[in-house]
Amino acid sequence: MKKSRAVIGLIVIILLLAGLGYTSVFGLGDDKSGSINSIDLGLDLAGGVSITYEVGDNETPSAEDMADTIYKLQQRVDQYSTEAQVYQEGLNRINIEIPGVTDANAILEDLGQPGNLYFIAQTDADGNDNYSFGMGGDEDSGYTYGYQLNKPIEDLQAAGLIVLKGEDVANAQAGYQNSGTAGNQEPVVELEFTPNGTQAFADATSKAYSAGESIGIYYDGEFISVPTVQAVITDGRAVITGMSDYQEAERLAALIRIGGLKLQLTELRSNVVGAQLGTNAIQSGIIAAIVGFGLIVLFMIFIYRILGVSASIALAFYVELMIILLDAFEVTLTLPGIAGIILTIGMAVDANVIVFSRTGEELSRGRVVGEAMKLGYQKALSAILDGNITTVIAAVVLMLGGSGTIKGFAQTLILGIIVSMFTALFVTRGVSAVFYGLGVKNEKFYVKSKEPVKFDFVGKRKLFYLISCGIVAVTVIVMGVNGGRGAGALNWSLDFVGGTSTSVTFDKEWTTAELDAQVVPKIKETVGVDSVQVQTVSGTNQVIFKTTSLDLSQREALDSMFETDFGVTSDHIAAETISSTISGEMLRAAIISVIVALVLMLIYIAIRFRNVSFGTAAIIALTHDAMMVLACYAFTRISAGGTFIACILTIIGYSINDTIVTFDRIRENLNAAVRKNDFAGIVNTSVAQTLSRSLFTSITTFLMVLCLVIFGVADIKLFAIPLMVGVVAGTYSSIFIASPLWTDLRMIKGKSGENGKKVNKATE
């Protein structure tokens, strides 16, 4: 690159960096509201709307009906945010909490009256119309409000003219189908009925089709669709056409789903609630991010000199792009989302470290700087791609199969991986080329790789296996003892086991910081709980305290404490039992998603490395790391809530990336080895060659998480500590577990023979 072009390149980099930074902080609109101020935040960071529904007619519903209703409501409110929560309160109430919104009335209007959906025959036995087309609609449309009932809904029910109810609909989804014109697709709503609904719909469509009639879908006092029956439908699957666009089909499908609840719900109350972690959580998180970023920059420059400067500039691009894209894609950011960002920062640094390590190796072989940098990127590319693609596979599965916190974590992770790869492979390379073009060509500005350490990783593997197995065994024993004495194997939070919600109306308005400092410690001391979740109600003096389940004596003690210490009388205190916010269905979906993700990662690694032993060793190492995080929760008794799942997933993503890089070097050395069956020697060499990269990446990621521990609020600290343990475990497993384990698997395979031929045992 000529010097003049390098100067222009430097100016472009500075302008882009400044422009993206300005957009992130101040924005481009007249309101000067930058992307960082427009990012949607979850209930834990910013609060939102809380709505409480009650089952109608004072009935006590069955546990099955409540669970089914909660699950379907969760699917419905996911459209507002993947971080929305739905859980049971008392015997017949359901709470919905939606982050990032402040207009409860708009949400209520959009949700309508859950549980009131009817499929109505067009005519009665005498041929009289049950409904007719009125003013304000389009008679030819499949989605219209122009139809009106001619008889009260109660009369239609009594006369048997309600052919199906919402509970007869098993599912409703927006989709596309061929419109008849070659290559054209039209948006539709795909319906699936229950077994009872299938028979009822077959009878109804048989009558309507022979008479050329429609079947009206009536929800919350209005017709939401009046499709004409075009065939007798007997298989329990139907399609509604006539949508103007996919968004219209999606909205209709959502209305049918929420109207398909078994229980009829009425609104009891709605409030705007404050952030669960308090207003200081965001501020402390920003401070932690700034300090962490600064430490990473200093570390990279100290270790890699001018290439470290390039990486630091690329990381600045990464941060600015992530802020802008989180806002643009309307991703709801919560603590798990922050974990995903931390992981991708680590992966962005890791990609740079891989390249720089490869560049240093080429310099140590006598290459000139320009050629060394070119070869460094070429040789690092496969490891970077394999590590990131493997993590993306897992994230995509989690996004498609998971819900709530899991889906939000996966969205943030996918976005972060894409941006981190872009900045590492293109921005860092471009900045390095500019510096080189400006004349920074002397080897003293770059770092040559030192001779790899000589250590028999494979020979000492049994010791490392023993250490890991010992920790796992002790963890299982500790969990068993805690479970046996009634304390629970882990200290599960109310996210998993539910608890007690205590609503208190004070004589003044409290800030979250004041509550955390003065009230929360009193609650913990009085009832003996480890964690208290606090929500303020906007515009009132009401505060909601959520804890693990309290018995009668604990509730009475709590009431007495509020009266004695804060002057709150019992008539201003209300306690209700609440269910877990992570339902059984959500947990099962998460577990299935993780299993599917692991299987797909195994398949990908086996294909890319042409050996299933690599994939098997990687999955076992991931299990090891998950157990180490579990050990942290078991020994420290840190509350295991929704962030527990995110923490496990973060470490899985981090560890697989670290392991893949080491495996990539093993693959390379295996292909180049003279004695291809000397697996132990190849592994020892490969691990030694990638050791500094593993350690440097771990240090930078560890520094970022450590800043959360130092500067974060209490809940963030409790979230960051297991992450720190996981980072250490992931590094340990990639060095001492995964690679030696691959050696053992190859030895076993060697003894049994490959392709019918005997393979010599690896030397130890």
Q: How far apart are the first and last CA of the chain?
A: 49
Shared-domain flag, residues 291 and 248: no
Domain boundary pick from 113, 130, 146: 113
* b/e sequence 464-484, b meaning 16+ C-beta within 10 Å: bbeebeebbeebeebbeebee
Distance CA(737)–CA(742), nearest Å, equals 9
Distance CA(48)–CA(40), nearest Å, equals 10
| Cα-based angle 755, 759, 763 (whole degrees, multiple of 5) | 150
Q: Which two tokens stand for residue 559?
A: 């009431």
Domain boundary pick from 578, 593, 617: 578
Shared-domain flag, residues 167 and 106: no
What would the mean pLDDT of 108-119 be, rounded to a whole number? 80
Decide: 358 and 352 in contact? Cβ < 8 Å.
no
Shared-domain flag, residues 471 and 549: no
What does each C-alpha distance from 764 to 294, 441, 444, 467, 547 come to in angstroms?
Answer: 44, 43, 39, 20, 55
**147: three-class secondary structure by DSSP:** strand
User: Per the domain annotation, does 350 fall within a domain?
Assistant: yes
Shared-domain flag, residues 334 and 374: yes
Shared-domain flag, residues 570 and 593: no
Decide: 730 and 654 in contact? Cβ < 8 Å.
yes
pLDDT of residue 763: 35
What would the mean pLDDT of 256-274 be, rounded to a whole number? 82
User: What CATH number does the domain containing 616 carry?
Assistant: 1.20.1640.10
Distance CA(738)–CA(120), nearest Å, equals 62
Q: Which two tokens stand for residue 560?
A: 């007495």
Decide: 701 and 727 in contact? Cβ < 8 Å.
yes
The residue ranges of DSSP E strands in 537-572, in sequence order, are 542-547
Decide: 127 and 271 in contact? Cβ < 8 Å.
no
What does each C-alpha distance from 568 to 122, 200, 434, 504 come to in angstroms?
Answer: 58, 56, 67, 8
The CB density around residue 680, as the number of other CB atoms within 10 Å, is: 22
Shared-domain flag, residues 433 and 574: no
What does DSSP assign to residue 518? I
pLDDT of residue 387: 87
- Per-residue pLDDT band for 343 (boundaries 50, 70, 90) equals low
Crossing angle for the helix pair 642-672 and 405-422, to the nearest 10 degrees: 40
From the centroid of its chain, how far is CA 427? 27
Amino acid at 233: I
pLDDT of residue 192: 93
Shared-domain flag, residues 188 and 256: yes
Listed residue (51, 49, 42) closest to 101, CA to CA: 49
Listed residue (124, 114, 105, 387) closest to 272, CA to CA: 105
User: What CATH number does the domain containing 92 carry?
Assistant: 3.30.70.3400
- Per-residue pLDDT band for 142 (boundaries 50, 70, 90) equals very low
pLDDT at residue 401 greater than cutoff 80 = no
Those residues whose C-beta lies under 8 Å from the C-beta of residue 657, and which sit 6 or more positions away, are 347, 350, 387, 388, 390, 391
pLDDT at residue 283 greater than cutoff 80 = no
Listed residue (357, 251, 345, 261) closest to 297, CA to CA: 345
**174: three-class secondary structure by DSSP:** strand
User: What CATH number does the domain containing 217 carry?
Assistant: 3.30.1360
- Per-residue pLDDT band for 180 (boundaries 50, 70, 90) equals low
pLDDT of residue 57: 65
pLDDT of residue 31: 54
User: Per the domain annotation, does 277 fall within a domain?
Assistant: no
Q: Which two tokens stand for residue 299?
A: 């570390």
Query: For strand 131-133 and strand 147-149, is the pairing parallel, antiparallel, or unpaired?
Result: antiparallel
pLDDT at residue 705 greater than cutoff 80 = yes
Shared-domain flag, residues 570 and 620: no
Of the listed ranges 175-184, 289-298, 450-459, 748-757, the least confidently predicted one is 748-757
pLDDT of residue 395: 85
Domain boundary pick from 243, 260, 277: 260
What would the mean pLDDT of 123-132 be, rounded to a whole number? 89
- Over the stretch 636-677, which tens digit does the pLDDT of each residue have? 988 887 778 878 888 888 888 889 989 999 988 888 766 667
Locus of tokens 């894409």: 418
pLDDT of residue 611: 83
Distance CA(203)–CA(184), nearest Å, equals 32
User: Per the domain annotation, does 23 fall within a domain?
Assistant: no
Spatial strand order in the sheet of 48-55: 265-273, 48-55, 93-99, 85-89, 573-578, 499-505, 542-547, 533-536
- Per-residue pLDDT band for 30 (boundaries 50, 70, 90) equals low
Per the rule left: phi > 0, alpha: psi between -120 and 50, beta: everything else, 160 is left
**Rg of the chain on CA atoms, in Å:** 30
What does each C-alpha distance from 579 to 9, 66, 89, 359, 498 come to in angstroms?
Answer: 58, 11, 6, 55, 4
Amino acid at 70: I
Q: What average pLDDT does the structure give for the chain?
A: 85
Locus of tokens 């509550």: 515
Best-predicted range by mean pLDDT (338-347, 490-499, 626-635): 626-635
The CB density around residue 291, as the number of other CB atoms within 10 Å, is: 17
Decide: 119 and 215 in contact? Cβ < 8 Å.
yes
Those residues whose C-beta lies under 8 Å from the C-beta of residue 611, and which sit 6 or more positions away, are none
- Per-residue pLDDT band for 764 (boundaries 50, 70, 90) equals very low
Shared-domain flag, residues 373 and 236: no
In this prediction the pTM is 0.76
Shared-domain flag, residues 122 and 255: yes
pLDDT at residue 487 greater than cutoff 60 = yes
Q: Give the DSSP H/E element, type plus range, for residue 172.
A: strand 169-178
User: Per the domain annotation, does 271 fall within a domain?
Assistant: no
User: What CATH number does the domain containing 514 carry?
Assistant: 3.30.70.100
Decide: 67 and 584 in contact? Cβ < 8 Å.
yes
Shared-domain flag, residues 609 and 747: yes
pLDDT at residue 250 greater than cutoff 70 = yes
Q: Which domain holds residue 736?
A: 461-475+583-752
Shared-domain flag, residues 435 and 512: no
- Over the stretch 418-435, which tens digit does the pLDDT of each residue have? 998 899 889 999 999 999
Distance CA(419)–CA(326), nearest Å, equals 11
pLDDT at residue 372 greater than cutoff 70 = yes
What would the mean pLDDT of 601-622 be, rounded to a whole number? 90
User: Per the domain annotation, does 80 fall within a domain?
Assistant: yes
Q: Give the DSSP H/E element, type plus range, for residue 330.
A: none
- Per-residue pLDDT band for 33 (boundaries 50, 70, 90) equals low
pLDDT of residue 450: 85
Those residues whose C-beta lies under 8 Å from the C-beta of residue 188, and which sit 6 or more positions away, are 174, 175, 176, 177, 239, 240, 241, 243, 249
What would the mean pLDDT of 98-112 be, rounded to a whole number? 78
User: Per the domain annotation, does 489 fall within a domain?
Assistant: no
User: How many alpha carbons lie under 13 Å from residue 13 in its C-beta half-sphere?
Assistant: 24
Provide the number of structural domains found in the chain. 5
Query: For strand 499-505 and strand 542-547, is the pairing parallel, antiparallel, or unpaired?
Result: antiparallel
pLDDT at residue 754 greater than cutoff 80 = no
Decide: 693 and 661 in contact? Cβ < 8 Å.
yes
Backbone angles phi, psi at 245, to 5 degrees: -160, 175
pLDDT at residue 35 greater than cutoff 80 = no
pLDDT at residue 144 greater than cutoff 60 = no
pLDDT of residue 143: 41
Q: Which of the pair, 749 or 569, is modelled with greater confidence? A: 569
User: Per the domain annotation, does 737 fall within a domain?
Assistant: yes
User: Per the domain annotation, does 105 fall within a domain?
Assistant: yes
